Amino acid sequence: MNSPMHFQILKRFLIFFCISSFILCSMSTLKAQENPPRPIAIHISLAQGLLFGAFMHGPAGGTITVSPQGLRSATSSVVLLSLALPFSPAVFQIEGNKGTLITIANIPSATLAGSGGGTLTLNFDLPQIASSSGSPFILNTTTPLRMNVMIGGTLIVGNAGANPPGYYSGTFNVTFIQQ
């Protein structure tokens, strides 16, 4: 006779324990990563243009590359000069919600016009587009701080007849896709 009574008490205790555990679990707050506020807004500004510095080309021409890390190299008969003209990758400053996923779209070639006539072609291939932070990348700063993204490029230089000495300038567009 004691056995069924103990069983009933134990059964009621287990039911009470399960119900109270369920209530306590349902009252607790679960936390997960928040989605960024909508709409996702990023602000981008150019802090430094892409600069190739001073150089001299020989009869065959060649290329000059500035990497996202700020290294400069040349091919063929192009000679890099160490004059007062600086060289650097383009530096973009991005401000937005921390955790925003950003992809840099393929950058089309651009044409640079020379002060003495002639044009140069500016190309962007995967290593330059990959930039200093890779692509895609996650914005790792909180407003008002800005994340710097550096992008390099390759300048195609012809011979002296095609590209006379002078200053060459132009523009290129970079598309940042926020997700």
Residue 21: band (very low, low, confident or very high) from pLDDT cuts 50, 70, 90 = low
Given a cut of 60, is residue 111 above it in pLDDT?
A: yes
Spell out the domain ranges in the chain: 43-178
Of 23-27, 104-108, 109-113, 143-147, give the range with the top mean pLDDT. Answer: 109-113
Q: What mean pLDDT is reported for the chain? A: 83
Given a cut of 90, is residue 40 above it in pLDDT?
A: no
CB 17 within 8 A of CB 24: no
Give the whole-number percent of the chain exceeding pLDDT 70: 78
Could you give the CA distance from residue 122 to residue 114 in angstroms, rounded to a whole number?
Answer: 13
* Helices and strands: H and E segment counts in the chain: 2, 16
Q: pLDDT digit string (tens) for 124-140? A: 875 555 566 778 888 88
Q: pLDDT digit string (tens) for 61-95? A: 999 999 988 999 999 999 999 888 899 999 999 99
Given a cut of 90, is residue 168 above it in pLDDT?
A: yes
Tokens of 157: 């230089």
Could you give the CA distance from residue 87 to residue 103 in angstroms, rounded to a whole number?
Answer: 25
Instruction: Give the pLDDT score at 17.
Output: 65
User: What's the predicted TM-score (pTM) here?
Assistant: 0.74
Assign 61 to helix, strand or coil.
coil
